[in-house]
């Protein structure tokens, strides 16, 4: 199976790089399954139904969220009918939507997508380790699902690394999101799970975490808000992780960080190049 995950989409420039690049990548790399983190897609805060549909039309099979999941109030409603939109599994009981979804890949495989949120330097949610463990007990790799992917939306690198090792050998791949900065530690863990601490963002890197630089600098210097955070709208980089998954075991065989366009050094999944 050929799997692609794309990190946090920030604002209009991030949306445009998804809609312009993803259709071609699906064809060029013969991708079986694509997951996109869309929690910052609507002006940097949340996602709308229109944007969600645009990502699906561009080739996303699932869209994950994070701490900004419900910044757009309409999400509270449409998430109930959109099975491909997945919010953190460790949100309180009764939160609209779902924290995991079993979806069909283009090659016919069943892929379990789980979204979870960290607790270090973030909201005090239910334990993400226990929440994911419960889901995996109900749907095990190669029993309930042919492949399993986790988007772990967390601030602390230690919490992300701990989660990777906690899940190693039980899932196909795990990618961290939330910090909007790609890490250089993509690797196969000893048990065969593909891992990266943070996949980075799909947005303009001439920014502060995807936001126009003036307001963040002002707040750091003066501690006084002067206006709203607004997404930077320069040339965006498509950032993510490409993973090849063994159909027999559901574990990863190779992976590569992906960075296409924008100002970062370029990196593609050359093992899929035609």
Task: Give pLDDT tens digits for 152-204.
Answer: 999 999 999 999 999 999 999 999 999 999 999 999 999 999 999 999 999 99
Model pLDDT for residues 67-97, shown as the tens digit of each residue? 999 999 999 999 999 999 999 999 999 999 9
Q: Tokens in use for 104?
A: 């069909």
Q: Is the pLDDT of residue 137 over 70?
A: yes
The domain ranges of the chain are 2-272
Confidence (pTM): 0.96
Instruction: Classify strands 187-188 and 194-196 as parallel, antiparallel or unpaired.
Output: antiparallel
pLDDT at position 274, please? 61
Model pLDDT for residues 4-51, shown as the tens digit of each residue? 999 999 999 999 999 999 999 999 999 999 999 999 999 999 999 999
pLDDT at position 147, please? 98
Crossing angle of the two packed helices 128-138 and 157-167, in degrees rounded to 10: 20
Model pLDDT for residues 52-72, shown as the tens digit of each residue? 999 999 999 999 999 999 999
Cα separation, 91 vs 103, in Å, equals 21
Q: Is the pLDDT of residue 273 over 80?
A: no
Cα separation, 135 vs 114, in Å, equals 8
Question: Does the annotation mark 153 as catalytic?
Answer: no
According to CATH, the superfamily of the domain at 2-272 is: Metallo-dependent phosphatases (3.60.21.10)
* Torsion sign, CA atoms 150, 85, 28, 41: negative
Concatenate the DSSP letters of all residues of 89-119 into one string: TTSPTT-SS-SEEEEE-TTS-EEEEEEEE--
């Amino acid at each position: 199976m050929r799997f692609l995950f794309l990190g946090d989409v920030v604002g209009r420039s991030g949306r445009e790089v998804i809609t312009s690049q993803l259709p071609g990548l699906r064809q060029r790399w013969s991708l079986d399954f694509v997951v996109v983190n869309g929690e910052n897609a609507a002006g940097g805060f949340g996602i709308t139904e229109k944007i969600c549909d645009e990502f699906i039309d561009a080739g996303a099979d699932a869209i994950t969220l994070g701490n900004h999941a419900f910044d757009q109030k309409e999400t509270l409603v449409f998430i109930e009918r959109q099975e491909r939109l997945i919010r953190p599994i460790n949100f309180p009981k009764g939160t609209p939507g779902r924290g995991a979804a079993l979806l069909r890949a283009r090659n016919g495989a069943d892929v379990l997508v789980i979204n979870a949120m960290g607790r270090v330097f973030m909201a005090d949610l239910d334990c993400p380790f226990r929440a994911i463990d419960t889901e995996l007990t109900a749907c095990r790799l190669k029993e309930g699902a042919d492949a399993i992917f986790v988007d772990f939306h967390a601030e602390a690198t230690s919490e992300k690394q701990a989660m990777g090792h906690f899940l190693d050998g039980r899932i196909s791949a795990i990618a961290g999101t939330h910090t909007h900065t790609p890490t250089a530690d993509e690797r196969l863990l000893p048990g065969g799970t593909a891992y990266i601490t943070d996949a980075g963002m799909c947005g303009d890197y001439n920014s502060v975490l995807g936001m126009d630089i003036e307001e963040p600098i002002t707040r750091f210097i003066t501690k006084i808000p002067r206006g709203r955070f607004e997404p930077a709208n320069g040339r965006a980089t498509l950032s993510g992780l490409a993973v090849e998954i063994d159909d027999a075991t559901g574990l990863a065989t190779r992976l590569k960080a992906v960075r296409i366009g924008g100002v970062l050094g370029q990196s593609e999944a050359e093992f899929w190049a035609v």
